[in-house]
């Protein structure tokens, strides 16, 4: 171990003895009566020492005033470096700061709020073609290459020439249908986005809930269930029973509640038996 390293770990005597200088600096910075008892000193480096004083401010319980002093080489005068208020081992601190995107929770958005979606959001993936480009990719249902190949295959399996066949749908009508199906969106849900959505829906309105376990029948046999489109229709639907607990929510097909359309059939009012007149018994005479 070198001599320089040994000197750097040994507190400078003059800096350690400068407690009064450090207290005066702390009292000048803090509010009156906010500087408490002396806590101790820590060597920060060669001829650099930090003195700590307790903070008596009620709003900073457990914090400490830290006053750093230093001495130049071969100098006999200790000078003030800085004065700061630092948290101690028992201080009360605010929670760790998180960006707003990580603090956001379902239900936090209100009218007029905007929630920008990141470009690399794992819940989304590019659509079938870029909405800014009028030319779809070759594998798109709207691409000219795919349309020409389809026309050639149709000509091979038909008896008459293509001119004798009914006119094919116009290019514009195909594009309109594609837009209705969502093919023209710049981004669509990725597999990860679908899976996370399905997990949320099934956790709230799935077969494992107490309501579903006490239901007379599952939702896939209920007349109030509106099927979804796409791959999710195999597992989920929309509840349309205004008296049900999941009205207007996406529910699992295995979910159920007491509002099932076939839960119970109202019994018919029993018909009264026909009146029978007793003509045998003698009438009562008073």
Which pLDDT tens digit goes with each residue over 175-222?
A: 666 655 556 778 888 899 999 999 999 999 999 999 999 888 999 999
Judge if pTM exceeds 0.75: no
Whether residues 183 and 199 share a domain: the answer is no
Beta-carbon-side half-sphere exposure of residue 258 (alpha carbons within 13 Å):
4
pLDDT score of 177: 61
Q: Is residue 147 part of a domain?
A: yes
Whether residues 181 and 206 share a domain: the answer is no
Among 32, 57, 87, identify where a domain stops.
Answer: 87
Domain count, the chain: 3
Contact partners, residue 147, CB within 8 Å, separation at least 6: none
Average pLDDT over every residue of 42-54: 93
How many Å apart are CA 8 and CA 266, to the nearest integer? 91
Average pLDDT over every residue of 236-248: 93
Calculated CA dihedral for residues 248, 254, 259, 261, nearest 10 degrees = 100
How many Å apart are CA 194 and CA 45, to the nearest integer? 57
For residue 131, what are the domain limits?
Answer: 125-162+172-188
Q: Is residue 12 part of a domain?
A: yes
Q: Is residue 272 part of a domain?
A: no
**pLDDT over 70 (residue 55):** yes
Q: Is residue 108 part of a domain?
A: no
Instruction: Give the position of tokens 């000193």.
Output: 41
Whether residues 176 and 212 share a domain: the answer is no
Q: Is residue 270 part of a domain?
A: no
pLDDT score of 226: 95
Whether residues 18 and 76 share a domain: the answer is yes
Give the percent of the chain with pLDDT over 90: 40
Q: What rounded mean pLDDT belongs to the chain?
A: 79
**pLDDT over 80 (residue 155):** no
Which pLDDT tens digit goes with each residue over 97-147?
A: 888 778 888 778 778 777 777 788 888 888 765 444 445 444 444 455 545
Which pLDDT tens digit goes with each residue over 266-283?
A: 556 677 788 777 777 666
pLDDT score of 66: 96
- Take residue 74 and report the two structure tokens written for it: 């071969």
Least trusted range by pLDDT, from 15-19, 124-128, 257-261: 124-128
**pLDDT over 80 (residue 149):** no
């Amino acid at each position: 171990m070198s001599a320089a390293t040994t000197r750097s770990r040994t507190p400078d005597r003059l800096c350690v003895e400068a407690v009064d200088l450090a207290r005066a600096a702390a009292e000048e910075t803090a509010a009156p009566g906010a500087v408490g008892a002396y806590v101790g000193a820590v060597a920060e480096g060669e001829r650099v020492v930090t003195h700590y004083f307790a903070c008596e401010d009620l709003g900073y319980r457990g914090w400490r005033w830290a006053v750093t002093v230093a001495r130049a080489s071969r100098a006999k005068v200790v000078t003030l470096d800085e004065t700061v208020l630092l948290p101690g081992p028992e201080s009360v601190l605010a929670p760790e700061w998180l960006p707003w995107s990580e603090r956001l929770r379902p239900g936090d958005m209100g009218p007029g709020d905007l929630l920008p979606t990141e470009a690399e959001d794992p819940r989304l993936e590019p659509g079938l073609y870029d909405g800014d480009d009028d030319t779809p990719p070759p594998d798109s249902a709207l691409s000219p290459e795919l349309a020409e190949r389809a026309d050639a295959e149709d000509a091979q399996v038909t008896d008459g020439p293509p001119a004798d066949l009914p006119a094919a749908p116009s290019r514009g009508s195909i594009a309109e249908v594609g837009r209705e199906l969502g093919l023209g969106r710049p981004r669509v849900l990725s597999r990860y986005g679908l899976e996370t959505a399905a997990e949320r829906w099934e956790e709230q309105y799935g077969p494992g809930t107490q309501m579903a376990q006490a239901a007379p029948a599952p939702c896939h046999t209920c007349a109030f269930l509106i099927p979804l489109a796409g791959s999710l229709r195999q597992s989920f639907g929309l509840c349309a029973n205004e008296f049900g607990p999941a009205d207007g929510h996406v529910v699992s097909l295995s979910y159920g509640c007491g509002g099932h359309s076939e839960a119970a059939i109202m019994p018919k009012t029993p018909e009264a038996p026909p009146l029978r007149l007793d003509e045998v018994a003698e009438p009562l005479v008073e």
